[in-house]
Structure 1
Amino acid sequence: MNLKQNIRKTSITLTNTQTSKAVKEDRGRLLIKRIFSTGFISLALIGVIYFTLPFTILSFGSLLEYSTLVSLFIFLIVLLFRYFSILVMAYLYINNYTFNRKEGFYPFVSIIVPVYNEGKVITASVQSLLNLDYSNYEIIVVNDGSTDDTYEVAKQMVGYKKGKFGDVKVSVINKPNGGKAKALNAGISFSKAEVVLCMDGDSQLSEDCIRAAVRHFVDPSIGAVAGNVKVQNRRKFFTDLQALEYIEGLNMARAAQSFMRLVNIIPGPVGLFRRKAIEDAGYYSSDTFAEDADLTLKILAHGWRIFYEPRAISYTEAPEKLHQLLKQRYRWTRGILQAIRKHKKLLVNPTINFGDTFVLWTMVYEALIWPTMNIFSNLFFIFAAVFYGFSTLIFFWWAGLALLDMSTA
């Protein structure tokens, strides 16, 4: 395919193959099912106590105090259950983790890089991808209707460029602006590789990212591999806190989920997909703010399993200002809730695979229940400190949460 054909590639027909894949469950996953079933039954019993015992209390004031304390107690139980589950499953995953390179298994990989107004950094981004510790890959840059000189700069890199182990083909697709999901779909459809790596235009991959991740595709049940996202701009205390959150709140959680091979969100900065899994899922959709979460749920719903690879690292830029962080988290939360609503049948349908149901309920908890209870508990302790002088409650509560975060990280 010549350069002219590459540049004019703007209209791509996507397929939506509906194929289901049966996956065998190992004994470890059955054990985890029993553990979580026991946990949910315990929480249900706590709920019964909470809703029945107040009827024995006649005083409204006592009832209010009782309800508040029981609510906090339930939140504490759920909190401990969450951290305990993450620690146990992450430990089991890491304890069983071995980095054995599969000699002779080097599938062809297409790196899809969607860009929009990245004219100043696109050259450096592509150059960093040429230094990867892998010999069988190509780079496909998708210009999503940039209004600056991104396309003109990217065109200069088209062709075979010198990589670490030989020449690497660099292609550029120019298309009208349509958003990240459509840009990624254009790159995936243009590619003919068995494995595609999707990333953000402003992210940088570690040298052994591909080599570490592709080995998991030896297992035919693995449809995708989630990478390890780290904060690159750790220049301020504000971004240092976000780096800690990425370790505990994102990567540690993915390690725990990977024990069951049920990672619930493949991060946008680095995710590798088997082509068949993407075709089964119907590619990326642009009807949510979290196209990565939506695609992950569709892949799981088609019977594929998703693994987490800690050595497949992508360095990303974290927001350095509070309003930027709030805007980012609003977009994340809204997108996840949209994905949950889109796949709500997985929440209540008893015929659906247990793992898929568990993954979706976990997302509901992390996106909705957890933040709501955090706000409620903090407001309660502030109220207690102001009106009852229990200021030490705030200290011990926040100190306890900090210790849980640090121990998990």
Structure 2
Amino acid sequence: MVSKQISRYLWAALAVLAVVAVLGYSYQSVTEAKGSFAVLLESYVLSAVTFYLLAFLVLLVIRYGIMIFYSFMDHLETLFERRTAPVALPREDSSLPMVTLVVPAYNEGIVIQAAIRSLLELDYPNFEIVVVDDGSTDDTYEKALEVAREQNDIPVRVITKRNGGKAEALNTGMTAARGEFILNMDGDSKLSRNTLRVCIRHFDNPKIGAVAGNVKVINRENMLTNIQALEYVEGLAMARKAQSFLRIVNIIPGPLGMFRKSVLQQVGGYDHDTFAEDCDLTLKMLMHGWHIAYEPSAIAWVETPSRLLDLLKQRYRWTRGILQATSKHSHALWQPRKAGINCFILWFMLFEGIMWPFSTMLGNLFFAYVGIQYGLATLLFYWWLQLTVLDVVAAAYCVVIEEEEPELIFYAVMFRLFYINIIDVSKVFATIEEWRGKAMTWGKLEREGKL
């Protein structure tokens, strides 16, 4: 354990030193060639785009800096609480509140039994499992029923209904739940054994309405899924950890979120009018004044797309769903005094969902044009390098904090070189088509049974 931790620190330090060395060399090269860059100031259009991209880069550096700072503060807060907390007797199992695990499933026959059996191994004395089959056309219901019938110790109920979408399935589970707390998850998720115990303790704070879990990739089998593993650690976990310090997590992930049942009922459960029901529900809770915490040690292992087309469909849906959710609560964008921190949350989501991908694409196209037209191809490289530096530093930090595999750091280069550019194209098309009101369908991801 100690040797692995030392290895992470060494690899992280090596990655940062390599970045510093490359930066130093690049700065020297730019300084020597600075006279040739004057062409960027020869026209108003080139000047405007150049200054816009510089401003965007500054915002991006500030964003990364804030994320790392607040996520580290949250990490220190957690360590401090563990070290200063008085030694207490373990909470009596009989006093722990009942938790209902709601598992919505649509055509999850290939993974549903493994998912349910993993839940039966959770370390918690008082919980039930409610599987909601949302009108599957495969054998999801039959396979879930098989596991339910062979289980005597932990109640497993399987409900089948006509197909109505994930939001309706989750609401059905909420209605059927007998527990005071509800843990919602996906039918293809596998939870860490400690999930219920580490999440339930957050509700000792009466202001906490929900707890978001830590989502990690289980099928790390090729470059695409390994890059997604890095993305989940750097792009999702780091952001939630930073937001958790202020108790304003803006998206409770679908694979793992625990709620007070009373709060779910108060906000009206899940709505059907977005393709990001988890984001929409989170924003509704924040608008009602509830705090949302993040528990990094509660892990949901998920199967991510291993094919590029499936990945693009997923991110297209995510982008449109988040835009739909922010649009529903857009009144808070223009009422900073009334909305408070929620105003900032929405602007931050729009920055990441719209401005970031559009600006990255603009930068790539702009510097490619300048390189071809004026012979300044090095500008495109330096643009890519600046963004890669941010990714490598963030990846090194996250590998240490999240106790992840050090080799993920090196995928940061491929992440910036091709992966995020393709994802940004998908996000831009999703944004344009959402603005135009183009109809879309859910786009079910075919599972490969890697749980």
In terms of fraction of residues, the more helix-rich structure is 2
Structure 1 counterpart of 2:129, one-letter code: I
- Residue 214 of structure 2 aligns to a residue whose secondary structure is strand
Structure 2 counterpart of 1:371, one-letter code: P
In the TM superposition, what are the counterparts of 1:116-131 in structure 2 within 5 Å?
116-131=106-121
How high is the TM-score relative to the length of structure 2?
A: 0.74
Match of 1:316 among 302, 308, 312: 302
Task: State the alpha-carbon separation in 1 of the partners of residues 144 and 217 from structure 2.
Answer: 26
Aligned: 1:344 with 2:330: yes
Gap change, CA 1:303 and 1:314, over 3 Å in 2: same
* Alpha-carbon offset, residue 160 of structure 1: 7.8
**Percent identity at matched positions?**
50
Match of 1:71 among 43, 48, 52: 52
Match of 1:269?
255
Pick which of 149-158 and 279-288 moved more. 149-158
Match of 1:248?
234
Task: State the alpha-carbon separation in 2 of the partners of residues 244 and 154 from structure 1.
Answer: 32
Structure 1 counterpart of 2:145, one-letter code: K
Q: Does structure 2 conserve the Cα–Cα contact (< 8 Å) formed by 1:159 and 1:169?
A: no
Gap change, CA 1:209 and 1:231, over 3 Å in 2: same
Match of 2:133?
143
Structure 2 counterpart of 1:146, one-letter code: S
- Residue 402 of structure 1 aligns to a residue whose secondary structure is helix
Structure 2 counterpart of 1:148, one-letter code: D
Match of 2:363?
377
Runs (4 or more) in structure 1 with deviation over 4 Å come to 99-102
Match of 2:429?
none
Gap change, CA 1:177 and 1:160, over 3 Å in 2: same
In the TM superposition, what are the counterparts of 1:5-404 in structure 2 within 5 Å?
61-98=42-79, 103-104=91-92, 106-158=96-148, 161=151, 167-404=153-390
Task: State the alpha-carbon separation in 1 of the partners of residues 64 and 370 from structure 2.
Answer: 26
Map Cα deviations across residues 274-324 of structure 1 (whole Å, 9 max, x no partner): 112211211001110000000000000111000111011001111111111
Task: State the alpha-carbon separation in 2 of the partners of residues 261 and 202 from structure 1.
Answer: 28
Task: State the alpha-carbon separation in 2 of the partners of residues 238 and 119 from structure 1.
Answer: 25
Structure 1 counterpart of 2:71, one-letter code: A
Structure 2 counterpart of 1:327, one-letter code: K
Unaligned runs of 5+ in 1: 1-58
Map Cα deviations across residues 77-123 of structure 1 (whole Å, 9 max, x no partner): 11111111111111111111145797346221111001112223322
Q: Does structure 2 conserve the Cα–Cα contact (< 8 Å) formed by 1:159 and 1:171?
A: no
* Alpha-carbon offset, residue 149 of structure 1: 2.2
Task: State the alpha-carbon separation in 2 of the partners of residues 323 and 118 from structure 1.
Answer: 20
Q: Does structure 1 conserve the Cα–Cα contact (< 8 Å) formed by 2:41 and 2:47?
A: no
Task: State the alpha-carbon separation in 2 of the partners of residues 60 and 260 from structure 1.
Answer: 42
Gap change, CA 1:60 and 1:251, over 3 Å in 2: closer
Task: State the alpha-carbon separation in 2 of the partners of residues 60 and 378 from structure 1.
Answer: 18
* Alpha-carbon offset, residue 156 of structure 1: 2.8
- Residue 202 of structure 1 aligns to a residue whose secondary structure is coil
- Residue 156 of structure 1 aligns to a residue whose secondary structure is helix
Structure 2 counterpart of 1:275, one-letter code: K
Unaligned runs of 5+ in 2: 1-39, 396-451
- Count of residue correspondences: 347
Map Cα deviations across residues 132-181 of structure 1 (whole Å, 9 max, x no partner): 1111111100010111222222223336826xxxx211011111110110
The root-mean-square deviation of aligned C-alpha atoms, in Å, is 1.8
Q: Does structure 2 conserve the Cα–Cα contact (< 8 Å) formed by 1:144 and 1:174?
A: yes
